[in-house]
Amino acid sequence: MLLIVLLLLLVLPLLLAALVLFLVCPGLPRASLRKPFVGRSYAHRGLFGVQQSPPENSLPAFAAAARNGYGIELDVQFTEDRKLVVFHDDTLDRMTSVPGGVQETPWPVVSALPLAGSGEHAPLFTEVLQTVARANPDTPLIVEIKSRYEYRGRYLVELCRAVLAALKTYPGPYCIESFDPRVVRLIRIMAPGVVRGQLVDSYRNHRIYGTKALPAYLLSHCFGNLLARPDFIAWCPDKRNWAVRLCAALGAMMVMWTAMPDHDIARLERDNDAVIFQWYEAEPKYK
């Protein structure tokens, strides 16, 4: 009996460790596919100023980033009438001073709203792709598909399909990321040859934003990798937790978001395969 208990005490932790490893493990390294994205600096929402001149996620911001040799990170989501718009927030108020959700507002209304009091408006994804291609067709893109918990089945499928269809017209390299493991899983199924990434925020930040404790822990510790098997982990400025360090050790490409002027840029570039930056003059290629 004692021997059985000792064996259980030995075997159970090993089984638990194996289970956790299976759940958190990223996809197998695909060096040739991720090569165009490594060692690059990505302008967060385009190359925009502290005073929103030009505004974030605007055509001038994207053109400036491409002309200066940077990669670009951007955000896409549906309007009410299923137009793919490049806009970060769920709601319109911060960038347009008009209340309402992006997904609940039709494109003709969104397109008429000035961004940050400028003459620019939120662009369609196709407009952005055309603008970047004209400025520098080799610009690598990190495309974040925006999602929310309440989105379900067909909506997410149609959103992912629309993004992939639009990207087929883009001549340069692109990859896709999302905070939602369901979205990354759909990209894995629909476009297995496309580099995919899991955006991960810290447990602390999840709790600040109101996420309940268990979902906050699971999301911040990459348990969604079971669904997504991502090529890269895009991690926030907080110290890496054990799961993120494990993903890096298992060969996942590491992307940092968002590097700011007060960060230790040299360390971030040393520790990450790609850096998404904002409000400082980065080296377009640092590796």
| CA dist 27 → 18, 30, 222, 225 (Å) | 16, 8, 12, 8
Largest CA distance in the chain: 78
As a residue count, the chain comes to 287
> How many CA atoms lie less than 13 Å away from 145 in the CB half-sphere?
30
On whether the CB atoms of residues 187 and 196 are closer than 8 A, the answer is yes
Active site residues: 44, 88
Read out DSSP for the chain?
A: -HHHHHHHHHHHHHHHHHHHHHHH--PPP-HHHHGGGTTEEEEETSS--TT-SSPTTSHHHHHHHHHTT-EEEEEEEE-TT--EEE--SSBSHHHHS--SBGGGS-HHHHHTSBSTTSS-BPPBHHHHHHHHHHH-TT--EEEEEP--TT--HHHHHHHHHHHHHHHTT--S-EEEEES-HHHHHHHHHH-TTS-EEEEE--HHHHHHTT--HHHHHHHHTTTTHHHH--SEEEE-SSPP-HHHHHHHHTT-EEEEEEE-TTS-HHHHHHH-SEEEE-SS---SB--
On whether the CB atoms of residues 223 and 20 are closer than 8 A, the answer is no
